[in-house]
Amino acid sequence: MQVTTDANAPWLIVGLGNPGPEYAGNRHNVGFMVADLLAERVGGRFKRAGKAQAQVVEGRIGPPGPANRRVILAKPMSFMNLSGGPVNALREFFKVPLAHVVAVHDELDIDFGALRLKLGGGDNGHNGLKSMTKAMGAEYHRVRFGIGRPPGRMQVADFVLKDFSSAERKELDYFVDRAADAVECLVIEGLERAQGTYNS
């Protein structure tokens, strides 16, 4: 489904996660990890955004010229299940069309490290997406970062709030880097090109 918007409108790229050092390495925080890397790439540091319950970095990605895009990188500082309020406040403040919002989040139904990009759809039980959709509708982009299913009888809530395993951590930087590349491709070249290159 193609949504037409002003090509010059800014993009809001939201890494989903939970605030606080105790959550930093959790599977549920992979969205924050990707947002941190993108902030490094644009040469910015996250700062509290006015009254919004979020940290943001403003910058530009893409080559000079028409493909250059203004982006606002954001990490909601509410907990995951309350992400929608801060994200929608930022969207309204920066005048970002819904189709220029990108949520980067962990995805249980995809193998560790694999990516899927899409526009719209359900939340698949993900509380961050559920909150965003409730606040502003579902027609935003998602970059879904696979974390796989919990082993044995481990509860999903316990699994997502655990750190990546030592074996996963050996590859994590590579996969986070690839997810950041996918976000940049989506914003600069569009969903179809990004899906063709990064969906795995």
Which residues of the chain, if any, have pLDDT below 50?
1-4
- By annotation, the residues acting in catalysis are 28
Contact assessment for residue 101 and residue 14, using Cβ atoms and an 8 Å cutoff = yes
Q: What is the pLDDT of residue 1?
A: 40
Q: What is the pLDDT of residue 2?
A: 43
| Dist. CA 23–CA 46, nearest whole Å | 17
Sign of the four-CA dihedral 40, 95, 119, 15 = positive
Q: What is the pLDDT of residue 5?
A: 56
Phi and psi at 58, nearest 5°, equal -105, 140
| CA neighbours closer than 13 Å in the CB half-sphere of residue 133 | 16
Q: Residue 71's beta-bridge partner residues?
A: 11, 59
pTM over the 0.85 mark: yes
